[in-house]
Homo-oligomer: A and B are copies of this chain.
């Protein structure tokens, strides 16, 4: 199915949700969700984009005038409207909410909004300038929709997974050769870019930025070692891992808007007892989780599998808050694999599986794979060695 058709299908599903909730209109503002309902990424978000979905009037993509050609040519929606002033383009209004008023009927609107994302000032503008009868939150509804991927989304994530495999594999190779965390990561990123050009040159690799910036290249490789792993995420340092270290190269990529990640904990020569025990606990916890992964199993129960193993290995006092999460348009999306999450695994979900341990005193350990839930179980989209990885120096 063409992307355009898939996007239209998503819009129809949201319309049904709106009707179900007694709503007639949605204004979508979160960059990842705007992309989901339009296949348009402005890359830079300092002039925000909106998808306005009206049960009666269909879907409109509203962008700043500077994004006019881009939105009309690369977005999937036929209705593109403009606000603001740039060049000779004709806009509905200078202000986006004034433009939305032009698009929607003047009758009282029963509005769905992503209340976890819309900023207060915009919310106020919407209440003041539009004829609103009531507003309800649709953040969770959109999150639930995004949770199950369609074939196109899966095909993009597969490409991203290929690239993060290359990023991490290359970084491990250069760590082995004596490069620092930062310099090995540089080579990993470089190799990802080159592979993109070779295999997927007709795709885009931008990400979704904040209101003050953008992500033009979504390929990130980084690497943390030992106690630095306890930071969770950080800039790699110019540290050269040595015997006894755990080093953790990580890679992210987003092909045509869909994300994958790969993380691998590397043993340099040999670990001391505690690190070694943590590494074994991590591998066993992963196996226990994978053994249980199939449609119907709740996310919470996967978390408890890992908890049981970590506790058995003596790490019950430093349990992680979650052992994985959804991904798709984003690196970290709904839902978490954690306590209290009763959502059942469902075919089409893409999740990270990354039960990990970390503590300042000795470091941390974690592999992360990008995993697709299938009808009968799961498929690893990231495919490089995810068992015990040792480099010798």
| A binding-site residues for B, Cβ under 8 Å | 31-32, 42-44, 46, 65-67, 69-70, 84-88, 113, 115-124, 137, 139, 180, 182-183, 186, 189-190, 193-194, 196-197, 201-202, 204-217, 220-222, 227, 230-235, 238, 252, 259, 317-321, 329-333, 358-360
Contact = CB atoms under 8 A, between A and B. Distances in A.
A154 to B, nearest CB: 19
Given A69-B231, A210-B31, A137 B121 contact: yes
Given A69-B231, A204-B235, A214-B331, 6 more contacts: A117-B119, A186-B194, A189-B189, A201-B238, A212-B332, A213-B330
Q: State the 6 A-B residue pairs at the shortest beta-carbon distance, nearest first.
A: A212-B330, A204-B235, A46-B332, A70-B231, A186-B193, A216-B220
Copies of the protein in its oligomer: 2
Contact of A358 (B46, B87, B137, B194): B87
Contacts of A259: 213
Contacts of A186: 190, 193-194, 197
Contacts of A358: 87
Given A115-B120, A238-B197, A360 B46 contact: no
Contacts of A213: 207-208, 215, 259, 330-332
Nearest to A331: B213
Given A88-B318, A201-B182, A212 B333 contact: yes
Contacts of A221: 217
Contacts of A197: 180, 182-183, 186, 238
Contact of A116 (B119, B201, B359): B119
Contacts of A123: 120
Given A87-B359, A119-B116, A321-B86, A43 B216 contact: no
Given A116-B119, A120-B123, A234 B180 contact: no
- Most B Cβ at <10 Å: residue of A139, A210, A238, A319: A210
A31 B227 CA distance: 25
Count chain B CB atoms within 10 A of each CB in A65, A66, A122 and give the residue with the most.
A66
Given A44-B332, A213-B207, A215-B215, A318 B120 contact: no
Nearest to A202: B238
A118 B119 contact: yes
A123 B117 CA distance: 11
Contacts of A215: 207, 213, 215, 220
Most buried by B among A70, A123, A231, A333: A231
Contacts of A117: 119, 211
Nearest to A139: B121
A189 B188 CA distance: 12
A317 B88 CA distance: 6
A194 B119 CA distance: 39
Nearest to A325: B46
Contacts of A235: 43, 204-206, 216
Given A119-B117, A321-B65, A232 B44 contact: yes
Contacts of A116: 119-122
A205 B234 CA distance: 10
Contacts of A329: 212
B360 A69 contact: yes
A319 B87 contact: yes
Contact of A217 (B32, B220, B238): B220
Contacts of A139: 121
A44 B233 contact: yes
Nearest to A205: B235
Nearest to A87: B318
Nearest to A327: B212
Nearest to A317: B88
A285 to B, nearest CB: 15
